[in-house]
Structure 1
Amino acid sequence: MAEYPFPDPVVETSGAVEIASDLVVVPNQDVDLVPNIGVIGGTHSVLVVDTGLGPRNAAQVLAFAAEYAKGRRLYLTTTHFHPEHAFGAQVFAGEATYLVNRAQADDLAQKGAGYLAMFTQLGEPVARELAGTQLPTPDVVFDDGYELDLGGRTVRLRPTGRAHSRGDQVVTVPDAGVLFTGDLAEAGQFAIFPWFPPHDTDVSGLRWIRVMERLAAEPHRVVVPGHGGIGDARLLAEVRDYLSELREQTWRRRDSAMSEETVVEEVRALMVERHPEWRMREWIERGVGCLCAEHEELAAHEARTEQDAEHAADA
């Protein structure tokens, strides 16, 4: 098992901060594999957004949420299926109703076991938190979005379509102007591209850009990213612009028939130069790999389209 050179991935609920009336965030304190967790209240119910990594973290989150709820009904949703966001949901069984979009439910069922095995090998602190993890089965699965009435407050759960994962979902609290993005947006770090060919190639840089364009055009007052500090709508524009920049710089070099290895080297150096303060530089290479593959897919599609047009003309 690899050495784990980072702080233990433990959720600290004592650091919870209120960002709107009856709405708190347990911040990740810039600790790797700890997400920002939301607890959103209404008059009769409370919604928890994301669980933390594994059952021990989730037990802390559940205890915090139950105390916060003071007898109100509990709900749980997760922004996507990755382990630090959803692999504690088993703890909420019988205590909260677990709601997710269908693509995320499919990810949990089809890819959860592989991700559990992969993350367990990241190091002893991660394996310890994941010990005893059972992949959850959601109580409610929806297709086109879900409006959850908490009592005097409606929270919207909106699937975005394939981007960071197949089952990405954003959570909006319209009356407070708050958006939870999951890993569609991070603050102070490079975008996480879970590009692991041939095992997982569901991330799409092109679709991700389109999702961020839509989110950045909406009027959000507070943006809670998957990881990093809480921000505002400028964070959405920053992520959109970075992803667009990464695509432009990658495709410009692939158009010139540059090798992927050289593209990675040059684009990584450029991104670090332009964002020297950002963490998690290792994700640049995977982002370039994803966008190189999408460049090839587009070129192949254009070639087939051209051939079809030629055949049609000959006929």
Structure 2
Amino acid sequence: MELPEPIVDVGGAREIGRDLVVIPDRSVPLVPNIGVIGGSEAVLVVDTGMGPRNAERVLEFALEYAAGRRLYLTTTHFHPEHAFGAAVFAGEATYLVNQAQADDLAVKGAGYLQMFRGLGETVAQALDGVELVAPDTVYASAHSLDLGDRVVELRATGRAHSKGDQVVRVDDVLFTGDLVEAGQFAIFPWFPPHDVDVSGTRWLAVMQRLVDAEPVRTVVPGHGEVGGAQLLADTRDYLELLRDETWRRRDSAMDEETIVAEVTDVMLKRHPDWTGQDWITSGVRCLCADHS
């Protein structure tokens, strides 16, 4: 079945805080939630949408929103719907990410571009003309970005959904990228032999740290509805259950196909309203290979 066009609709942008808006995904596959955060002197855009035409829409919106303020861009991780529009911002914004994410983009970006083009004509069209560009500024593990009377904290989490995941915090709002989804099973990009960097156990540890950190009021997930801090706990609890149910069966020498079937049944009964059930399979396969 052909996927719908992954179009970012900037007309749906809504304010979730002072000088802070989210362009929502509208539940469209391969469209992320995009943030625009303002200070007195500068504005930060969080994620670009997939491909140059989506990024052009986001950039036009951001420039109008900035009204002369300096522009920055960051991406929560290197995957195509989050970062493959960055070239459009060249000359207009300073692009900054953590070192692990920059490395991901350099090493795996071209492969992901090819892989995503194979997902269907609508996705291939969205990716037409993509140019993969290196960030202007790279930080090691933490960076405080002063937008003028407002500081945004960028934090590399370590390997989880990808090697280069990053969370973005401003005031009591947290942008998580695909570390957290709302109403959707966690996305495990487990694509052996091409990419096996996702780690269910390390992801779970990251989520526990986020739950234990200074409380937040609002969580902006990679995909799905903006929500409260409970989204962090929901993701942690899901990953913990997925690990426990998978490992219990794996340790009893059950074959992997049976593990996938049984764990999928458990998860669908626990979360009957969540979408993206195919990601349960890749999550189970990832955890079957994980002996942490």
Q: TM-score range by the shorter chain?
A: over 0.9
Task: Describe how 1:149-298 pairs up with structure 2 within 5 A.
Answer: 149-174=146-171, 177-218=172-213, 219-295=215-291, 298=292
TM-score computed with the length of structure 2 as normaliser: 0.99
The AA in structure 2 aligned to 1:7 is: P
SS at match of 1:38: strand
CA distance in 2, matches of 1:209, 1:61: 32
Q: Which residue is equivalent to 1:133?
A: 130
CA distance in 1, matches of 2:180, 2:261: 24
Any stretches of 5+ residues in structure 1 without a counterpart? 299-315
- Runs (4+) of structure 1 moved beyond 2 Å? none
SS at match of 1:283: helix
Identity of aligned residues (%): 68
CA distance in 2, matches of 1:126, 1:88: 13
CA distance in 2, matches of 1:273, 1:24: 35
SS at match of 1:288: helix
Correspondent of 2:144 among 137, 143, 147: 147
CA distance in 2, matches of 1:89, 1:73: 16
The AA in structure 1 aligned to 2:212 is: A
Task: Describe how 1:51-130 pairs up with structure 2 within 5 A.
Answer: 51-130=48-127
Q: Which has the higher helix share?
A: 1
SS at match of 2:32: coil
The AA in structure 1 aligned to 2:47 is: D
1:15 matches 2:12: yes
CA distance in 1, matches of 2:31, 2:266: 28
SS at match of 1:79: coil
CA distance in 2, matches of 1:217, 1:64: 35
Tell me how far 1:255 sits from its aligned partner.
Answer: 1.2
Tell me how far 1:217 sits from its aligned partner.
Answer: 1.6
SS at match of 1:294: coil
CA distance in 1, matches of 2:194, 2:125: 24
SS at match of 1:132: coil
CA distance in 1, matches of 2:86, 2:92: 10
CA distance in 1, matches of 2:69, 2:290: 47
Tell me how far 1:71 sits from its aligned partner.
Answer: 0.3
Give deviations 1:145-190, integer Å, cap 9, x for gaps. 110000000000000000000000000002xx00000000000000
CA distance in 1, matches of 2:123, 2:249: 38
CA distance in 1, matches of 2:12, 2:250: 45
Give deviations 1:12-45, integer Å, cap 9, x for gaps. 0000010000000000011100000000000010
Q: Which residue is equivalent to 1:312?
A: none
The AA in structure 2 aligned to 1:254 is: R
TM-score computed with the length of structure 1 as normaliser: 0.92
CA distance in 1, matches of 2:134, 2:160: 23
The AA in structure 2 aligned to 1:105 is: A
RMSD: 0.7
Any stretches of 5+ residues in structure 2 without a counterpart? none
The AA in structure 2 aligned to 1:211 is: V
CA distance in 2, matches of 1:135, 1:289: 30
Tell me how far 1:7 sits from its aligned partner.
Answer: 2.2
Give deviations 1:212-243, integer Å, cap 9, x for gaps. 00111220100000000000110000000000
Tell me how far 1:144 sits from its aligned partner.
Answer: 1.9
CA distance in 2, matches of 1:161, 1:133: 27
Tell me how far 1:120 sits from its aligned partner.
Answer: 0.5
The AA in structure 2 aligned to 1:30 is: S
Q: Which residue is equivalent to 1:304?
A: none
Tell me how far 1:65 sits from its aligned partner.
Answer: 0.3
CA distance in 1, matches of 2:274, 2:69: 40
Correspondent of 2:26 among 22, 26, 29: 29
SS at match of 2:290: helix
Tell me how far 1:8 sits from its aligned partner.
Answer: 1.0
SS at match of 1:113: helix
CA distance in 2, matches of 1:22, 1:279: 32
